[in-house]
Structure 1
Amino acid sequence: MGRAVHGQIFRHAFEVDVFVQNGLVALYAKCGEIEKARAVFDRLYGRTIVSWTSIISGYAQNGQPVEALRIFSEMRKLDMKPDWIALVSVIKAYSDVEDLEQGKSVHSYVIKVGLELECDLLIALTAMYAKSGGILFAKLLFDQIEMPNVILWNAMISGYAKNGNADEAIELFRRMILKNGRPDSITVRSAIIACAQIGSLDLARWMYNYINRSEYRNDILVNTALIDMYAKCGSVDCARSVFERTSNKDVVLWSAMIVGYGLHGRGHEAIDLFHKMKQAGMEPNDVTFVGLLLACNHSGLVEEGWEYFHCMRRDHGIEPRHQHYACVVDLLGRAGYLDKAFNFIMKMPMEPGITVWGALLSACKNYRNVPLGEYAAEHVFSLDPYNAGHYVQLSNLYASVRRWDGVSKVRVLMREKGLSKDLGYSLIEISGKLQAFRVGDKSHPRSKEIFEEMESLERRLKEAGFIPNTDSVLHDLNSEDKEVTLCNHSERLAIAFGLISTPPGTALRITKNLRACVNCHSATKLITKLVEREIVVRDANRFHHFKDGFCSCGDYW
């Protein structure tokens, strides 16, 4: 139809009419025919602000922000003053290229020309700040708008979620509902992502119940997000129930469920689901194989993982990405095949990145291979010199073989770079609220009771024959000091608080920011047997389900 109109314009000699030609530029741009819009624009004489605005908006709306900004720069050189419509598109373009500084310059211009109260500009600026990490500026602008539309709610909720402010995202989502706002699919998916970040199973269930009563119950994108949320909140079984109830499953939904099993180290279930996926006629994608490799990695299924990696290209025509190579290095390294992992790295068709060398360094620490660990550390430090975690890994390696000179050398390196070890903390969910604990934390109002429970637990552990693994402490301390240090780890405090705060038999759910240490892992297994409780721990790498003296990881993590 648009081409037919264009033909009529040409036939009736309107090709020199600026008003008509501006309409054509806008028409082609809105139909996604940006090259045709550009051809009309380039032939246009006597361009007006409408002409420039139409082409700039066209490029911005069609996913070409760099070209939109280049044309805007041309327009400014001609001393053309942009109107608010052009500025909306320019702000969007700067948001898309994540150039917050230039976006701020446009904001200054908006204020200078007195357009700061223009509703569409407020929305665009709020979205830009929220997306680019300037969440405080975004909130200041958001609060000026009396009746935010769904686009603005989405900008703020997703902005909070993407910038690590998950609690604020959920609070804003609840506020939207209370104000009778109508969330769309983007809104609820952003809220679900925030729930997954928080890790509260009670909150996840609230979110699920809300979705179940809404028009998005059968939305495949929403259900995919719910599967991911439940898996990250510790209940892969709830994730599976969402998966089973979803009709018309696509590859993204299947992959989300396989990745969920991977997070929980349920390798055989992941493999079984993969076979069902193929039987259903669904072709896997690269994310499917990330989940499979993760599941094999966390379950010690080395041969299976090795085979799945090689069948990607051979059977499915999928070129492995860096993440797949990193999974294989981790898979081999965790199983003790350090030489095979190293040779695999040397044959990679791409430059090994930080995750590949980091996986090898971690494996070297676990198996006390100092020469190879030092080689891996050199590459890690050159790629990511200001991440304290990598230096701690090398320090751990030296400490495990009592190379205290090496530990001292790493500490000097860290001090020179102004780095300090990340402090461990654990969160425990009690009655839907998260409580945080750090190593040796005595700040809690119930601290006296917590430490009394800790002492009781330590007595019972010793009576049951538990011997602390003091090798997991990084300092050259005497044995008694080491035991005290280990007893005060944040997850032990969280467990003690959980035991005094919940009825007998209640499962405890804990999130830890670092990888669980060997000592706490062993102690938690025995604690579940002594207190007859299930304890679910999400550490930096995966989930551990402790019950009756065993862990779901099979001591393989």
Structure 2
Amino acid sequence: MSITQDLCIKILDKCPNIQQLKKLHSILIINNNLASASHIALKLIKAYSECREIKLAHQLFDKMPQKDVVCFNVMIRSYVNNALYEKALNMYRDMFRFSVRPDHFTVPQVLKACSGLGELCVGLQAHVGVVKKGLLTNVYVGNGLITMYGKCGSVVDGRKVFDEMGCKDVVSWNSLVAAYAQNGMFEDALDVCRSMMGCCDVKVNAGTMASLAPAVMGSTSSENVGLVKEMFVNYCRESLVSWNVMIAVYVNNGMAKDAVNLYLQMGIYGFDPDVISVASVLPAVGDLSALLLGRKIHEYVKRKRLLPNLTVENALIDMYAKCGSLKDARKVFDEMKTRDVVSWTSMVSAYGMSGDGQRAVTIFSHMQDSGLTPDSISFVPVLSACSHAGLLDEGKHFFRLMTDEYKIVPRLEHLACMVDLLGRSGRIDEAYEFIRNMKMEPNDRIWGALLSACKVHNNMDIGLVAADHLFQLVPEQAGYYVLLSNIYAKAGRWKDVTAIRSIMKVKGVKKEPGVSNVELNNQVHSFLAGDQSHPQSKRIYEELEVLVGKMRGLGYVPKTDSALHDIEDEDKGNHLAVHSEKLAIVFVIINTEPFTPIRITKNLRVCEDCHIAAKLISKIVEREIILRDTNRFHHFKNGVCTCGDYW
């Protein structure tokens, strides 16, 4: 079978599969050894590279009698495209042995290899060569340098290259955005985006949003969230990556409702969520306790065959755990073909949050038996689970295991768990001594855990010490003022209560309003204390009044020492009666069938009065109430809570 050169080139340009390619290669050798022609050999090298047969590509390169800059460029690009960056740099070094001078096509590929390896030294050498050859005016070379410096952590040098470039395109700007984002400099990345939006020569595009992706995992100001939203709405909504970035920005800035709403809009704009979309939105679904939506997303994942996928499966476990559905979380866990430390840690956390400390401890032990090594993060939920369940000895055991056997240096999160564990167990003096012996400076979480324990166990002296530190560390944090106020109230020191309230007013410290969320018919409803804004408010208050009457018949008396202390006792009772949890619970009762479980999420710790009320309501209406606050889950059933009133 004969074959012309033109036909051969046409076939090779269509990127044949490996079987076709090898057959064609054989025919070319038979037909007057056309494979030895340099232009055809280069086409073959590219084709083998695209089929990931890089060894065969290199064999062809080695057989070429004459190797010019084009041959080296093709081979270097082949290695880079297959992420074989070290081999690409070795090929670059070989150029000089063959006295072949790199050109403006060589340098961008070499810089990509340096970026992939974080090889700043070779990148600097390449930069020197660029300057000597006068290639800095080439926009592709400049863009490669910015990317290389960003990937190697030398953002200042990348910025300098950008500023010195005479001609810049949108890739130049996006490369600088990415350089800042990859190095955690989100504010600087957004400043570049602002400059782009004010520049006439370039337009923000989906690539800009993609460049921001590495930096969206942290929280930022509302102004910056607004900027990203403006970019998304006005310039970037045509890309799935942009949708994913915007969802992540919302999630990581505590804007769960916005994240969920954006996810639900994707289909309207013709986008099918991918694994990144799903993994990004599931934490928001969990934060809202939107279990029905979570189950729909789970069904979508199965229908689209996005499983098995470790990231998505771990996110599903976390979502179900946050929604208080341990059964669903465990089902996902049990069906996983492979599990990593995150999978096991998520299950430990799920049981711990629900108050089942013993099972959390068992799961942690099973993780050890599986051959996986627990990391620093793994110990936080097991220590927390021991604390919430009052497992003092077990908690001390795991802390010793972490430090002595696994040689993990305790972080502030671990230390806070230990203070909480000791404090909840009534070992206030031991907890205080633990803090004093710490090798690092205690933060507000540690002193806050001690202050909470002092309130529960009526330890005024150490409570004042803890409060003193807290007011220095976080003078704007209202919750700690309220805690100290409640300690004074329990001791009957009303003058001190008044003094604390006065300090709050003078400093402008305001108590964060309690918000309770509940899902109904794929919509999340939010309630504030005394909320009158809901369309069903009138009926909610009528039903609540009836419920309170039935509660009083069971001996309910409002626990007024958990209310604000600058109002009269009768008004305190009225204030407690309209706490957000109670409004949310009644809303579900009047809008669902009897015996339907009630799921509530609150942004603050549930107060003692609402805890008592929820127990009584669960008995009166014969429903399970699952309430998640900032500390843990409370499962109320038949007048009893799974926390055993220990929270």
Matches within 5 A, 1:15-94: 15=101, 20-30=106-116, 32-44=118-130, 45=132, 46-50=134-138, 51-60=141-150, 62=151, 64=153, 67-73=154-160, 76=163, 78=164, 80-94=166-180
1:437 alignment partner, SS class: strand
* Range with greater deviation from structure 2 (199-208 or 37-46): 37-46
Relative distance call for 1:285 and 1:446 in structure 2 (3 A) is: same
Following superposition, the deviation at residue 196 of structure 1 comes to 1.7
Matches within 5 A, 1:474-513: 474-475=564-565, 479-513=569-603
Query: Relative contact order: is structure 1 or structure 2 higher (C-alpha 8 Å, sep ≥ 6)?
Result: 1
2:531 alignment partner, SS class: coil
> Is the Cα–Cα contact under 8 Å of residues 176 and 189 in structure 2 kept in the other structure?
no
Partner letter of residue 599 of structure 2?
Answer: R
> Is the Cα–Cα contact under 8 Å of residues 15 and 21 in structure 1 kept in the other structure?
no
Following superposition, the deviation at residue 256 of structure 1 comes to 0.9
**CA distance, structure 1, for counterparts of residue 529 and residue 206 of structure 2:** 49
Which residue of structure 2 aligns with residue 426 of structure 1? 516
TM-score, scaled to structure 2:
0.80
Residue 104 of structure 1 is aligned with which of 182, 187, 191? Answer: 191
* Range with greater deviation from structure 2 (428-437 or 255-264): 428-437
**CA distance, structure 2, for counterparts of residue 118 and residue 494 of structure 1:** 42
Instruction: Please tell me the root mean square deviation across aligned C-alpha atoms, in Å.
Output: 2.6
1:373 alignment partner, SS class: helix
Give the length in aligned residue pairs: 553
Following superposition, the deviation at residue 57 of structure 1 comes to 0.8
Residue 456 of structure 2 is aligned with which of 354, 358, 366? Answer: 366
Which residue of structure 2 aligns with residue 297 of structure 1? 387
Following superposition, the deviation at residue 495 of structure 1 comes to 2.2
Which residue of structure 2 aligns with residue 224 of structure 1? 314
The question of 1:116 aligning with 2:116 is answered no
- Once the two structures are superposed, residues 206-234 of structure 1 have per-residue CA deviations (whole angstroms, 9 ceiling, x without a partner) of 11111122232210111001111111112
- Once the two structures are superposed, residues 133-169 of structure 1 have per-residue CA deviations (whole angstroms, 9 ceiling, x without a partner) of 5233323332344772332222122122222332332
Following superposition, the deviation at residue 534 of structure 1 comes to 0.7
Relative distance call for 1:446 and 1:8 in structure 2 (3 A) is: closer
Relative distance call for 1:478 and 1:29 in structure 2 (3 A) is: closer
Which residue of structure 1 aligns with residue 612 of structure 2? 522
Partner letter of residue 48 of structure 1?
Answer: L
Relative distance call for 1:99 and 1:505 in structure 2 (3 A) is: closer
The question of 1:12 aligning with 2:102 is answered no
- Once the two structures are superposed, residues 300-324 of structure 1 have per-residue CA deviations (whole angstroms, 9 ceiling, x without a partner) of 1112112111111222222221100
> Is the Cα–Cα contact under 8 Å of residues 534 and 546 in structure 1 kept in the other structure?
yes
Following superposition, the deviation at residue 235 of structure 1 comes to 1.0
Which residue of structure 2 aligns with residue 192 of structure 1? 282
> Is the Cα–Cα contact under 8 Å of residues 88 and 124 in structure 1 kept in the other structure?
yes
The answer for unaligned runs of 5 or more in structure 2 is 1-86
**CA distance, structure 2, for counterparts of residue 274 and residue 125 of structure 1:** 36
> Is the Cα–Cα contact under 8 Å of residues 288 and 601 in structure 2 kept in the other structure?
no
* Range with greater deviation from structure 2 (173-182 or 194-203): 173-182
Following superposition, the deviation at residue 442 of structure 1 comes to 3.2
1:143 alignment partner, SS class: helix
Partner letter of residue 294 of structure 2?
Answer: A
Matches within 5 A, 1:187-336: 187-336=277-426
* Range with greater deviation from structure 2 (23-32 or 197-206): 23-32
**CA distance, structure 1, for counterparts of residue 217 and residue 332 of structure 2:** 31
Larger radius of gyration: 2
**CA distance, structure 2, for counterparts of residue 455 and residue 17 of structure 1:** 82
Residue 532 of structure 1 is aligned with which of 615, 622, 626? Answer: 622
* Range with greater deviation from structure 2 (290-299 or 121-130): 121-130
Following superposition, the deviation at residue 441 of structure 1 comes to 2.7
**CA distance, structure 1, for counterparts of residue 550 and residue 172 of structure 2:** 71
The question of 1:547 aligning with 2:637 is answered yes
> Is the Cα–Cα contact under 8 Å of residues 424 and 439 in structure 1 kept in the other structure?
yes
> Is the Cα–Cα contact under 8 Å of residues 25 and 38 in structure 1 kept in the other structure?
no
1:352 alignment partner, SS class: coil
1:443 alignment partner, SS class: coil
**CA distance, structure 2, for counterparts of residue 218 and residue 481 of structure 1:** 55
* Range with greater deviation from structure 2 (439-448 or 323-332): 439-448
Partner letter of residue 449 of structure 1?
Answer: R
Partner letter of residue 243 of structure 1?
Answer: F
**CA distance, structure 1, for counterparts of residue 348 and residue 472 of structure 2:** 34
* Range with greater deviation from structure 2 (505-514 or 431-440): 431-440
Matches within 5 A, 1:409-424: 409-424=499-514
Following superposition, the deviation at residue 552 of structure 1 comes to 0.7
**CA distance, structure 2, for counterparts of residue 83 and residue 34 of structure 1:** 24
- Once the two structures are superposed, residues 13-64 of structure 1 have per-residue CA deviations (whole angstroms, 9 ceiling, x without a partner) of 335756544543344334543432223323541341444432221132x262
Residue 405 of structure 1 is aligned with which of 489, 495, 505? Answer: 495
- Once the two structures are superposed, residues 361-416 of structure 1 have per-residue CA deviations (whole angstroms, 9 ceiling, x without a partner) of 11112222222111111111111121122222211221221212212222222222
**CA distance, structure 2, for counterparts of residue 143 and residue 43 of structure 1:** 42
**CA distance, structure 1, for counterparts of residue 384 and residue 231 of structure 2:** 42
Which residue of structure 1 aligns with residue 433 of structure 2? 343
Which residue of structure 1 aligns with residue 50 of structure 2? none
> Is the Cα–Cα contact under 8 Å of residues 130 and 156 in structure 1 kept in the other structure?
no
TM-score, scaled to structure 1:
0.92
> Is the Cα–Cα contact under 8 Å of residues 107 and 125 in structure 1 kept in the other structure?
no
Following superposition, the deviation at residue 257 of structure 1 comes to 0.8
> Is the Cα–Cα contact under 8 Å of residues 232 and 260 in structure 1 kept in the other structure?
yes
The answer for unaligned runs of 5 or more in structure 1 is none
